[in-house]
Structure 1
Amino acid sequence: MPQDSGRGRDAWAVGAAYEPYIGRWSRAVAAEFVGRLGASPGERWLDVGCGTGAVSRAALDGGGAGELVGVDSSEGFVRHARRLVSAPRAHFVVGDAMALPVPEAVAGAVVSGLTLNFVPDPARAVAEMVRAARPGSVVGAYVWDYAEGMQLIRRFWEAAAALDERAGDLDEGTRFPLCRPGPLRALFSGAGLSAVDVTAIDVPTRFRDFDDYWTPFLGGQGPAPGYATALPEDRRARLRERLRSSLPAAVDGSIPLTARAWMVLGRSPVRP
């Protein structure tokens, strides 16, 4: 999950607000991500930017993790992860993705969910992930496809840009060019990882009704909610109504969208 250091206008700290906005959908992606990793049972896992614990929970429940250490720079997220993943095999600590508080070659699986695009120096963070991985271990990450496939956020910014030309300055689709297959592959290959592959993970994001979609944007967690909560009430109301009229709606009033994440996977180098 996103790291605090260097976020600036991207506020990520309150787990209770993050969960209805992104956390509930990240859990679905995390389960698929962990299932595709191919890590051996009983390995020690390191979850970099663990956030509220979506990947950590999936690693312990379905990934066969023998032990897990989660690192995040947000104390609030670490506290939330400890509550969500209250297993004796899991340990969560406050730390920086670019200077991981772990020894070299300590983990048999090193992972990161929805973090790398928020780190000031992603190459340094991946280098740290490689440092922490045992030779030949799996190293993997995923980020949202902000430019196209992460529809709940994409729809928000399209509506915002139609009302405010300055909204584009905050749009993650523009701000985070890393979140595409080519840059992700180059990032992992540049860190010395082998057999690097990038694939899409698509999950349904069906909202019960418009309020289920809109209310999480009022929690202030992330660029889009930060933008929404900073608007004067009249402009926020116009944005809300534009979204209400533009989103697809099923007969029962639910809003069927999908979310795409890009998963990148590689193997740490075998040292002589």
Structure 2
Amino acid sequence: MGATAGGTWRDIGCGTGAVTGAVLEVADPVGVIGADPSQGYVDYARGHIADRRAQFVLADAMQLPFADSTASVAVSGLVLNFVPHPARAVAEMTRVVVPGGQVGVYVWDYGEGGMEAIRAFWDAAVTLDRQAKPLDEAVRFPLCARSPLGELLAGAGLQDVEVDEIRVPTRFADFDDYWTPFLGGQGPAPAYLAGLPEGHRAELREQLRAALPRAVDGSILLHARAWAARGRRGREGNPVNPAT
């Protein structure tokens, strides 16, 4: 994000503390406070991030327990699409950074050309069952695209908003390597799959097996895309405070 070393950070929706750990390693901050609504995640992060510069608190992204203008940077990774009112969460992040401070977020893209492993699953599922459509993350999380994400930050009053694409390869050794994670029952796609009768599940599996691209060695190379957005709080005036 280009933030100056030595600042104070807030990691909103910190989960296990992965982003907090990266900030400590890369940004050399004075301190980082991670906030998450899950006591389990807060306890885990406290137990696994030993750096004294890190603290973790139980908090809702839409009502942060931090005073105005007390952080240099506020970040949130892979969280906003799960927040009931993401505009409120970004407004809170903007509120807690100092004038001139930065807000940064990133989310996976579940739409066309985004998370190709998930996209292939839902495309096949909807072909066989139109009732699967509302469960598709692309439908449930319309925020996870370049324009909506940029508009979200700008709507909070942030200036100089930029949205960048992050694209990473996701290689599977073979079809079973691709298919097995869907059998775990956790997440929208695995949960949908677990609820199908065995015959429908097998039909979906074979449709995917036929549709996915294969290399000569049988491996499947797909890609995942995330959008990373950042903006700067203005030097004058107050951040936007949208209604919840």
Same fold by TM (over 0.5)? yes
SS in 2 for 1:240: helix
- Tell me, what secondary structure is at the counterpart of 2:21? helix
Q: Does 1:260 align with 2:225?
A: yes
C-alpha distance in structure 2 between counterparts of 1:164 and 1:136, whole Å: 50
CA distance in 1, matches of 2:116, 2:48: 27
Give the TM-score taking structure 2 as reference length: 0.87
Aligned to 1:57: 21
Aligned with 1:87: secondary structure?
coil
Measure the CA separation in 1 of the matches of 2:194 and 2:50.
32
Residue matched to 1:178: 143
Given residue 51 of structure 2, which amino acid in structure 1 is its aligned partner? A
* 1:110-129 alignment runs, 5 A limit: 110-129=74-93
Change in CA separation of 1:239 and 1:137 when aligned onto 2, cut-off 3 Å: same
- Structure 2 residue aligned with 1:191, among 141, 156, 159? 156
- Structure 1: how far apart are the matches of 2:172 and 2:41? 24
SS at match of 2:208: helix
- Cα deviation for residue 212 of structure 1 reads 3.0
1:69 partnered with 2:33:
yes
Aligned partners of 2:44, 2:223: CA distance in 1, in Å? 26
Instruction: Indicate yes or no: 2:42 matched with 1:93.
Output: no
Higher Cα radius of gyration: 2
For residues 228-256 of structure 1, give each alpha carbon's deviation from its aligned partner in whole angstroms, at most 9, with x where no partner exists: 22323333333233222322223333321
- 1:47 alignment partner, SS class: strand
User: What is residue 69 of structure 2 aligned with on the other side?
Assistant: 105
In structure 1, what is the Cα distance between the partners aligned to 2:186 and 2:31?
30
What secondary structure is seen at the aligned counterpart in 2 of 1:183? helix
Separation in structure 1 between the aligned mates of residue 183 and residue 81 of structure 2, nearest angstrom: 23
Aligned to 2:241: none
Shift in alpha-carbon separation, 1:233–1:68, aligned structure 2, 3 A: farther
Query: CA shift at 1:201, angstroms?
Result: 0.9
Which deviates further from its counterpart, 100-109 or 142-151?
100-109
Give per-residue Cα distances to partners, 1:41-83, cap 9 Å, x unaligned: 1222111112233322221222333322222223343344445
For the structure 1 residues 249 and 127, does the alpha-carbon distance in structure 2 shift closer, same or farther, using more than 3 Å as the test?
same
Q: Which of 187, 200, 208 in structure 1 is aligned with 2:165?
A: 200
Cα distance in 2, alignment partners of residues 183 and 44 from structure 1: 28
State the distance in 2 between where 1:255 and 1:53 align.
Answer: 31
Long gaps (5+) in structure 1: 1-36
Matches within 5 A, 1:127-206: 127-148=91-112, 149-206=114-171
- The alpha-carbon distance between structure 1 residues 194 and 257, as it changes in their structure 2 partners (threshold 3 A), is same
Structure 2: give runs of 5+ residues left out of the alignment. Answer: 238-244
TM-score w.r.t. the length of structure 1 is 0.79
RMSD: 2.0
Which amino acid is 1:220 matched to? G
SS of residue matched to 2:6: coil
Aligned residues: 236
Residues 81 and 215 of structure 1, relative CA distance in 2, 3 Å threshold: farther
Q: Which residue of 2 aligns with 1:32?
A: none
SS in 1 for 2:51: coil
What amino acid maps onto 2:187 in structure 1? G
* Secondary structure of 1:186's aligned partner: helix
